[in-house]
Amino acid sequence: MNALAGRVARSFARGMKTYDGAALAQRQIAARLFAAYRGAAAGHRPARVLEAGYGSGHLTRHLLELRPRRLWLNDLAAPELPGVAAEYLPGDVAEVALPEAVDLAASASTIQWVADPARVLGRLCQAVAPGGWLAISGFAPGHFPELRALGSRAAAPSYLAGAGMAALLPAGWRVRGAGEWRVRLHFPGALEVLRHLRATGVNGCAGQFRSPGALRDFMARYEARHGGAGGVALTYVASWLVAERRA
């Protein structure tokens, strides 16, 4: 496991107890990704399914609706999911041995954390049999605009737009859908935003505030710029791609 993967694993391990309840946006994104795949691949019945970065199972729960005969689940940090019979593949998706000839490879809100997204997407594509499908989401360069507007360094290493992910597809693939989704959450104040980020582990690569004064200044500026009658906003900008491998 490389240094980045190890850092991300430790961050998500710290937030695992709080992640599932706090990951409201990730839950919505997983549902949208599954719906996009089902809309593009109407009638597709995958018998062999691989999911990379299953986390607490937001996308996994949808994939189980497909009733695959075999299900492989890969992740850096998450433990086995209660009640989910699968072949678990712990480790870095860029390095771990993946199954061959799957009918569907899927991943939600994960690829932004890898150092080499082209390698990871290529490996997932290679695992798919001809006639199979890929459904993947990450986060786009405009992710967390409220934080970016205040100069925050909270960022994952590999933000890609939907078109950017599509450009990484190897030959022999057909894009069936790609784009971005915006999910806006609201919180009572900036402190709750920071607690949300910590609870979901998504600030694993962010810089730390150097003093209590710097923290207070950041929260005051956040609330002044992004606050309103409904509290303060935090916007997730998700990117997504659904593609089919030509038979």
Measured distance CA(201)–CA(87) in Å, rounded: 25
Question: Using one digit for the tens of pLDDT, what is the confidence trace for 28-63?
Answer: 999 999 999 999 999 999 999 999 999 999 999 999
pLDDT at 20: 60
Is the per-residue pLDDT at 94 higher than 70? yes
In this prediction, residues 4-18 reach a mean pLDDT of: 49
pLDDT band at residue 1 under the 50/70/90 scheme = low
Is the per-residue pLDDT at 18 higher than 70? no
Q: Which residue has the higher pLDDT, 21 or 57?
A: 57
pLDDT at 96: 95
Q: In the structure encoding, which two tokens stand for residue 132, read together?
A: 């199979």
Question: Using one digit for the tens of pLDDT, what is the confidence trace for 119-170?
Answer: 999 999 999 999 999 999 999 999 999 999 998 876 788 999 999 999 999 9
Is the per-residue pLDDT at 27 higher than 50? yes
Q: Go through 89-103 and write b for each residue having 16 or more CB atoms within 10 A of its CB, e for each that does not.
A: beebbbeeebbeebb
pLDDT at 208: 57
Is the per-residue pLDDT at 205 higher than 50? no
What is the torsion angle, in degrees rounded to the nearest 10, for the CA atoms of residue 142, residue 146, residue 152 and residue 155?
Answer: -40
